[in-house]
Structure 1
Amino acid sequence: MDLSSVEIFVAVADSQSVTRSAQRLERAPSNVTTRIQQLEQKLGVNLFSRNSKKMTLTEEGRAFLPYAKKLIALEQEARNAVKALDVPPVLNVGTMESTAASRLPPVLAAFSSECGTPLQLTLGATRELIRAVESEALHCALIAAPHDEPEWFAQAVGRLDHLHSVRVFQEDLLLVFPSTHRSVEQPADIAVPSLAALEPGCTYRQVAERWIGSSARCPTLELSSYHSILAHVVAGNAVGVMPLSVLNMLPWNSEVRTRSIGVIDTLLISRAGDRPPTLGQFEQILLASSAATADKMLQSQFVQ
């Protein structure tokens, strides 16, 4: 049964006019009449009464009408189902706020240009991002782990042995002090009342708390953004912790003193047995961006 003839039948049944139906369907009236006749021949019944100027349905036509509408709806449903298969699946990526701000803009632009796959970005701290990957809420995540300290990381945050991981960036982690603060060689030299950091699941916070330890009376002040952290530092109320790449992006970065407390790896983690092709593409773009950033740093050092 030709579905276009069924659509024409429904249009004529609704308007009770071949002329009006032809105008709505952008067909010649003679074509509409012919298609109705062909459908009637196919079904072996008259669908319309031709005893008046109006195209009124016969008893058979009234019986056929709801089925005709179901056929049209089913065809549209089938088209939608097939069309949905052509829509690229969304790649769900988790990331720390610091990485999203300082590292990802060129990566996301390249991924959009080269892959065309929608990408959903979710911000979070390292600990919660690991849990989200494990629970399949995310395809992958960018997390922070101290360089060459897997045992400490396993105790402080969690093990990564069961996950696929690759290092994509390295960050110089800094303690940031007010510009008037004295030089800091050891925790006891800290002369501000608190450590300004992000949430407890943040690796940067945990590394800073470990470095400061109990030798300095410096409780942690939990804040929601790096802008807030730097504002507290500039005001002389705290020592902050953040990677150099983030500090370089913020205002007032020339009004502070810093001390490096370690190298932190940014790892891309995912489930080893569940890696869609788009994840492999995303990983390669990350690695290419990392290599380009390293080349720029070398060139800058050479010029200096």
Structure 2
Amino acid sequence: MDLAALTIFRAVVRENGVTRAAAKLNRVQSNVTMRIKQLEQQLGAELFVRDGRRLVLTPAGRALLPYAERLLALAEEARHAVREDRPRGRLALGAMESAAASRLPRVLANYHQRWPEVELELSTGTTGCLIERVAQFEIDAALIATPPDATVLTDAFESVPVFSEELVMVTPRGHRAIQAAEDVALSTLVAFERGCAYRSYVERWYAEHGLRPARVLELGSYHAIVACVAAGAGVAVAPRSVLDLLPGGAREVAIHPLDSLGAVPTLLIWRRGHYSAALDALRGTLLAQASLPQGASSSVDAASSEAHPQAPAIAS
């Protein structure tokens, strides 16, 4: 069972088929099919079954996938460890939608200019989902909100704070001032699915006042959430930095500071002991950007050049 076969197996899973996997890997389809069959022969089990025009993982395939992810991640770490200390290769980063929209564009632009040899892949999700994906070797690192229950960040992770977000309550225009949960006139909370740390914070805020929303309307983007609030469907909690980005959308709602929630740090997390020059350079870029006054620009060359061959020493 060699790494090339595992790479092909993972690509077929990620690309949902042999055709797209072959294109992604720059191989012919027949080669991908042959390598999958050889891997199945080595393992003595079928990894895929055909359901119409698509391939579906068998129980054996589902069992193999997390091991393949871990082995390939470890192999990538080994390659980084023995190469010269220059960021290159693949870096899979996860981020909350809020961070991806309001914090990352300038950071990633600077990063790509400084380290063009890094193939950076960005995906979004809730804090809970991102923590799980880092733990399962699906992504190398993630930008998450500090969870209300800090115990979910076990000794398996290292982290460093890179931003701080002010959470505010968003209501339809004309809503009375909000200082406590009793002041909220609408009974519906518009929020992301469970696993969103900001949702957990506001639900805890309600509970501290002996209340809870009558219902939760789950949506998948801040644009949709703000639009529903503006239409009178309910209230929401969001980082102020996201609302500042919405073109005219924030003018259709009222924004209420929630001092009792305080500022929520955004953390960059990664698996304990994981190191790559690409990840260390990203950490330096994020920290350099976070130290700038809001609206300032930076070349971040000095911070990015601080990447060094030993693993980062900052722990969670």
TM over 0.5: yes
Matched, 1:259 2:253: no
Q: Mapping of 1:136-215 within 5 angstroms?
A: 136-145=137-146, 152-154=149-151, 158-213=152-207, 214-215=210-211
Alignment of 1:59-138 (within 5 A): 88-116=88-116, 117-138=118-139
The equivalent of 2:218 in structure 1 is: 222
Report how far residue 216 of structure 1 moved.
4.7
Moved over 3 A (4+): 85-88, 293-296
Structure 1 residues 90-116: Cα deviation after superposition (integer angstroms, max 9, x where no partner) = 100011111000000111111111111
Within 5 Å, which residues of 2 pair with 1:271-282?
271-282=271-282
CA contact (8 A) 2:128 2:195 kept: yes
CA contact (8 A) 2:88 2:277 kept: no
Identity %: 39
Q: What CA distance in whole angstroms lies between the structure 1 residues aligned with 2:153 and 2:109?
A: 32
How far off its partner does 1:159 sit? Answer: 2.5
Cα distance in 2, alignment partners of residues 242 and 119 from structure 1: 27
CA–CA distance in structure 2, aligned partners of residues 216 and 279 of structure 1: 40
Q: 1:112 to 1:286 in 2, by over 3 A?
A: same
Shift of 1:183: 1.1
Distance 1:217 1:203, change over 3 A: closer
1:20-60 per-position Cα deviation (integer Å, ceiling 9, x unaligned): xxxxxxxxxxxxxxxxxxxxxxxxxxxxxxxxxxxxxxxxx
RMSD, aligned CA: 2.1
DSSP-derived class of the 2:292 partner: helix
Give the letter for the 2:186 counterpart.
V
Q: Which has the larger radius of gyration?
A: 1
Deviation at 1:177, TM superposition (A): 1.1
Question: Cα offset for 1:235?
Answer: 1.1
Question: What is the CA-CA distance between 1:276 and the residue it aligns to?
Answer: 0.6
Alignment partners' CA distance in 2, 1:295 and 1:210: 32
Report if the CA contact (8 A) 2:188-2:214 is conserved: yes
**Cα separation, 1, equivalents of 2:139 and 2:103:** 19
2:88, 2:278 within 8 Å by CA — same for their partners in 1?
Answer: no
Unaligned 5+ residue runs, structure 1? 1-84, 297-304
Report whether the alignment pairs 1:247 with 2:248. Answer: no
Residue 236 of structure 1 aligns to a residue whose secondary structure is: coil
In 2, Cα distance between equivalents of 1:169 and 1:217 = 29
Map of 2:46 onto structure 1: none
Q: How far has the Cα of 1:124 moved from its partner?
A: 0.8
Cα pair 1:176 1:259 within 8 Å, conserved: no
Normalised TM-score (structure 1): 0.63
1:216–1:274 Cα change, 3 Å: closer
Q: Distance in 1 between matches of 2:145 and 2:155?
A: 15
Q: Quick one: which amino acid aligns to residue 216 of structure 2?
A: T
Q: Is the 1:192–1:218 contact (alpha carbons within 8 Å) kept by the matching residues of 2?
A: no
SS in 2 for 1:90: strand
Return the alpha-carbon distance in structure 2 between the equivalents of residues 173 and 160 of structure 1.
25
With normalisation by structure 2, the TM-score equals 0.61
